[in-house]
Chains A and B, each alone.
Chain A
Amino acid sequence: MEANPILSISELRKQYGQTEVLCGVNLSVKRGELVCVIGPSGSGKSTMLRCCNLLEMPTSGTILANGHDVMDPKTDINRMRQDVGMVFQQFNLYPHLTAVENVSLALCKVQKRKPAEARQLAMASLERVGLGHKAEAMPSQLSGGQQQRVGIARAIALQPQIILFDEPTSALDPELVDDVLAVMRELRESGMTMLVVTHEMAFAHAVADHVVFMDGGVVIEHGTAKQIFENPQQTRTKSFVSRYSSRLAH
């Protein structure tokens, strides 16, 4: 049971017209694991992630997410998406709703909880990301880091089985990155399964169970964080992580 991957992707392909963005990606994430996906821009990392909850429709391949065959037309996508949370690079908070309303919307409208109960659960999620005191703030009144933490609260409130992070800190000012990463570390310690597309090499190195290096629409190499960062086998992986590793050496 524990050994079964909660997310497994095989031979995933995605084409836009003539351009093939994903050329047969294989990847799996076990329960409780934090897997980081690294790689240069345009390597297909984000597209791969967005295929997992069908924000992008794959051209072919198979994705199993918590038992849902994602690409099966008979699968209830809205049900599946409650098991597969998502955190976006640009946060994508609803600007017309307060922080707590952002978090409770799906609790009310999808899970059909009573307003008082939804609010209570939303507050608990905001407390978890350290923003209970900002519940009534509008997104425009929050810093980027705070907005992203509300984004994380919105995802965890639905109690998903896995959360997909699409470059969660790339749009943040450097000094705001740490708060968000701290929340992610804490989630990881509480046993949340996470698949994180990121450019935060130090975070991936320190926190990830597994690291996947993608380039040109395929997985070039995968292994433990230690293997990928300290002893990469493939030339492309070596050259990609070398800039980060050389900084570490100093």
Chain B
Amino acid sequence: MDGNSGFFYTFFNLEIAAQYAPALGAGALITLGTGAAVVVTGTLLGLLLAILRALDVRPLTMAIVAFADILRSLPPLVILIVLYFGLPEIGLPLSAFLVTWISLSLALAAYAEESIWAGISSLPAGQMEAARSTGLAWWSAMRWVILPQAVRRAVPTLTNRIISITKNTALGSVVSLNELLNAAQGASSMSGNPTPLMMAAMSYVIIFLPLVVFSRWLEKNWVRG
């Protein structure tokens, strides 16, 4: 039949779509959950490292810079595979979810630290001095004067990094995390039809487009403050 080889039959087959929708839905939830976990821990860890770097303690700063530089030069996929296949060798096997979560959090933390640190160090020294001169302790000055300004300055680069690192949850498929892409690949090979892959692509857009739009809004409305 003509339809059997037609474009819609191949890429947008409703029958197959209906059959594998539950599996892809479950995969999308895992993508969403892993992504959210990575955003939270990666950004918070990056923030913490940037604050520690601001303490200006030489060995600490060197360790943080080394961490950030090394993790930024490693492809996230390599971190993922090293952890997933390496850790069991030292008796510490982690689940696919944990490995994906940790790897991407570390990668995001490295970029977040650099962005937030750039924000902190771009502020005039007078800001910290003025705050300290009124009796604010270092941490209070950081919390109420430095960070609110530094984070605002970091937002444009930070949101870009968050989006690009979070999309890497798709790499979890390599270590058999049952996220969206992995579910779609499985469904696609079982059905012998690429429709599930198209569904996955559309799902990614549905999940990440709001994040992209939100980051644009944030840059426009908050950064200038």
Binding site for B on A (CB under 8 A): 53, 55, 78-79, 81-82, 85-86, 88, 90, 92-96, 105-106, 109-110, 151, 154-155, 158
Contact = CB atoms under 8 A, between A and B. Distances in A.
Given A88-B130, A96-B148, A110 B124 contact: no
Contacts of A94: 127, 130-131, 145, 149
B134 A81 contact: yes
A92 B129 contact: yes
A92 B145 CA distance: 11
A82 B134 contact: yes
Contacts of A55: 129, 132-133
A87 B176 CA distance: 61
B135 interface: yes
B133 A86 contact: yes
A88 B135 CA distance: 15
A95 B224 CA distance: 11
B129 A79 contact: no
A92 B124 contact: yes
Contact of A85 (B126, B133, B148): B133
B132 A81 contact: yes
B225 interface: yes
Contact of B136 (A53, A85, A109): A109
B135 A105 contact: no
Interface string B133-169: 1111100100011001100100000000000000000
Contacts of B134: 81-82, 85, 105-106, 110, 154-155, 158
B136 A88 contact: no
Given A90-B126, A94-B127, A96-B152, A110 B140 contact: yes
Contacts of A110: 134-136, 140
Nearest to A79: B135
B133 A95 contact: no
Nearest to B133: A86
B148 A78 contact: no
Interface string B83-121: 000000000000000000000000000000000000000
B126 A106 contact: no
B144 A109 contact: yes
A139 B26 CA distance: 51
Contacts of A53: 133
A216 B135 CA distance: 31
A96 B131 CA distance: 13
Contacts of A88: 126, 129-130, 133
